[in-house]
Structures are given as structure tokens and as C-alpha cells.
Amino acid sequence: MTKRNSTSTASGRPASLWTPTFVMLAIALLGVGFTFYLLVPTMAGYAVAKYGASATEAGLASSSFFFGAVAARALAGRALVRFGTRSVVLGSVVWLLVSCASYLLPVGLAGLIVLRIIHGVGFGFAATALVSAAMAMIPPTRRAEGSGWFLMGMTLATGFAPFVALVLVNSSVGQTGVFWLSLGCAALAVGCVAAVARSLPGRPANPPPTVRGLGGLIDRKAVPIGLVIGACAFAYALVLAYLNLHAGQRNLIEAAGLYFLVYAIVIMVSRPVAGMLQDRYNDDVVTIPLLLTFAVGLVITAVATHPVALLVGAALVGLGYGTMLSGGQAMAVHKVGHARTGLGVSTYWLVVDLATGVGPIVLGALIVPLGYQNTFIAAAVLPIGALVFYLLVARRVRPAEPESI
């Protein structure tokens, strides 16, 4: 097997990854992630309890966040290129702080839905800008490893924030406590960004001319790998939306409560290891086995009739899909080149987010004719198809420019 590159500089010393700026931006991303995942499991119930929302209105209050986030993903790349990393990162986390503070106001049901969209815009810009800033400073020889470590904050938020939110909701502090914690996490993000803002690139002296149409919103070289991971996100969204209902039919509710915790724990171990292998050798050494692992994890999740089997499925889904999220991001940045890192990151996450949002709608339509088990098995075809597309198309995309260490 041929090594892709070395993880050392020309002088033989390891390329620097854990700089103060990298660490502070990673903590900021953790705060940003918590502002989202703290509210995911509680917002629909809050809309019903506080404003008497119907089931449809409650669902809209919960999911309208997604519309703002996707719109921000589409615009963030252009903003980063035009206005510079420092301005976009600072502006977006302050926007997020104001959004989180607004949940403490009596805004009404319509106002809550609008606020969710506004919060989504702040989240989309902040997450994209923070990741872009970090990816631009990670040494090319440690890009996949650095991507895995940097996204760890979002992983922790995915696994632990919903658990904390439900504990708070069922305690004496209730939903108000969740809102205050979300505000505190946004304040943490602002503080971390402010501490290192001067080290971030400012507005370009000669910003490139604005490109009209899709060319100004996406980078075509990032789309193929985005489609690979997007197909997996499409399948994973089924797990997010319907795991509890599937598990309820099999008396596995308690195990389902631990599913995403196991998912997150596995990623905490697998991402750094997979990143180092990807940096040291090549993309194939992790992409091919992880796509297959994800497919197997979906099948085991589908057929599990025992708690242990369901949690094994969670571990394999985390190892496969959860690890590929950061690996795919590293590949997208490598394809577009350093100068277009922001646009590459926003393109990648735009495709993944769209797939995550559409997946439950399309695959959910199969549940009535097929049932939960067969629908989950059908979803396992997607990572197999993604593997074929990766081998035939995505990995053949040439990087935009050679990169030096």
C-alpha cells in the first residue's frame, strides 16, 4: 500500500495541529453544537405546552430550524470568500447568541417558528465558518486527523446534549433551564472566538469578483464526495427520525435511549484513528471499509430483537457513518484546494444537510408498505450505492491545486 504523505514537516518535526487557535475554535464549535442539539428533543413539546400548538405546528416549530440552516450553508461559502473568515465567524456567533437569548422572551407560536429559522441561520453560518477556519489552518499532512478532532465537539453535542436537555425538562427548571443553558453555550462560543479573533484571516485586500449563479454558492469539485456522504446521510436520517418507533415495536425502548450515546462514544475513538490512517495512506483505506460497515450497521439495526444487537448496530453505524462525516470533509477540502476551503466546506455540508432533511420524508413513505425492518434494510442499499459512486466518480476528481507542507 502506497503512503499518500508524511505527517511530519521537512525538518522531521510533526506538523503542528494543536495550536491555541485550533483548540479555542473547537471549543466554540462544541458550544454552537449544543445550542442546536439541546433544543432538538424539547422544542415540539414546548410549543404544545406553552402555546397550545397542534401536532403539525409543533413539528414546524421544531423543524423550521433546518430551513434557516440550509439557507445559511448555501450562502456561507460566498460570504467567507468575500468578507473574510474573521468577520463571518464573529458575526455568526454573535447572531447565535442573540437568537438563543430571544427564546427567553414571550414571542408567541408564530414568533417561535420565525425564531427557529433565525437560529438556524446563525447555526449554519457559525458551524460552516468555524469549520472552514479550522480546516484552513490544519496542516495538509494531518487534514483528516485534524478534521476528526475538530468535529468532536459536534459529536459530543449529538450524543450528550439531548440527554441533558431531557433531564432539565423533567426537573424543576424545565424548558427555561434548557434555554438558559443554550444561551450559556452560545456565550461560550462568542468568548472563545473573541479570544482568538485576531489570529483569523481578515477581509481579503482584493476579494475575488462575485460569481453569479450556482458557481458562487458551490464548488463543483466538492460535490461528488458530498453526494457520497449525502447518500449515507439520507439513510442515517431514517435512523434519527424513526429509531424509537422501530424499537418500540420490538420492546427495545430502553436500548434505543442508549443508541445515540453509543454512536457518539464510538466516534470519539474512531475519528482520530481513521483520520491518521487516511492522512498516512489514502482515502480508500478508510472510505471503502467504512461505507460497508455503515451498511452492515443499518441491517443489524433493522433486524435486532435484543438490546445488545441494537447497540451493536449503533456502534457500527457510528463507526461507519459517523467517522465518514469527518473523512468526507477532509476529502472535500483536499479537492477544492486551500484558497477555496470555505466554499468547499459549505458545499459539502449543504449536500449533507439537504440529504438529512429530505431522507425522513422519502424513506418514511416506505414504512407503510414495507414496515420498519424492511425500510431500514432498504436504506442499507444507499451506502452500497455510495461506494460504487465513490469508486467510479468521486475518488477520480483531481485536486484543484498541489499542496505543500
pLDDT tens digits, residue range 171-220?
Answer: 889 899 999 999 999 999 999 999 999 888 777 666 555 555 555 567 78
pLDDT band at residue 242, thresholds of 50, 70 and 90? confident
pLDDT: which is higher, 355 or 4? 355
Q: Which position has the grid cell 429559522?
A: 117
Same fold, 15-204 and 214-400: yes
Q: Which of 17-31, 135-149, 175-189, 260-274 has the lowest mean pLDDT?
A: 135-149
Q: For residues 179 and 396, give the distance between their C-alpha atoms in angstroms, rounded to a whole number.
A: 46
Q: What is the pLDDT of residue 182?
A: 96
Q: Which of 211-220, 312-321, 359-368, 374-383 has the lowest mean pLDDT?
A: 211-220
Q: Examine the pLDDT at 399 and tell me if it is beyond 90.
A: no
Q: For residues 118 and 98, give the distance between their C-alpha atoms in angstroms, rounded to a whole number.
A: 10
pLDDT band at residue 133, thresholds of 50, 70 and 90? confident
The full length of the chain comes to 405
Q: Examine the pLDDT at 58 and tell me if it is beyond 90.
A: no
Q: What is the pLDDT of residue 28?
A: 95
- Dihedral angle over CA of 185, 50, 60, 170, nearest 10: 50
Q: What percent of the chain has pLDDT over 90?
A: 38
Question: Which is it for the CA torsion 98, 188, 260, 271, positive or negative?
Answer: positive
Class of domain 15-204: mainly alpha
Q: What is the pLDDT of residue 337?
A: 79
Q: What is the pLDDT of residue 311?
A: 96
pTM of the model: 0.77
pLDDT band at residue 11, thresholds of 50, 70 and 90? very low
In this structure, what are the phi and psi dihedrals at residue 365, rounded to the nearest 5 degrees? -65, -15
pLDDT: which is higher, 377 or 41? 377
Contact (Cβ atoms closer than 8 angstroms) between residue 174 and residue 50: no
Mean pLDDT of 332-345: 80
Q: What is the pLDDT of residue 404?
A: 43
Q: Examine the pLDDT at 3 and tell me if it is beyond 90.
A: no
pLDDT: which is higher, 48 or 386? 386
Q: What is the pLDDT of residue 206?
A: 62
pLDDT band at residue 42, thresholds of 50, 70 and 90? confident
Domain boundaries, the chain: 15-204, 214-400
Quick: pLDDT tens for 65-112.
Answer: 878 888 888 888 778 878 888 999 999 999 999 999 999 998 999 999
In this structure, what are the phi and psi dihedrals at residue 8, rounded to the nearest 5 degrees? -125, 160
Q: What is the pLDDT of residue 285?
A: 92
Q: Which of 5-9, 189-193, 216-220, 299-303 has the lowest mean pLDDT?
A: 5-9
Mean pLDDT of 355-367: 82
Q: What is the pLDDT of residue 193?
A: 94
Helix, strand or coil, per DSSP, at residue 188: helix
DSSP assignment of 37-59, as one string?
HTTTTTHHHHHHHHH---HHHHH
Bridge partners (DSSP) of residue 8 are 14
In this structure, what are the phi and psi dihedrals at residue 102, rounded to the nearest 5 degrees? -70, -20
Q: CATH fold of 214-400, please?
A: Growth Hormone; Chain: A; (1.20.1250)
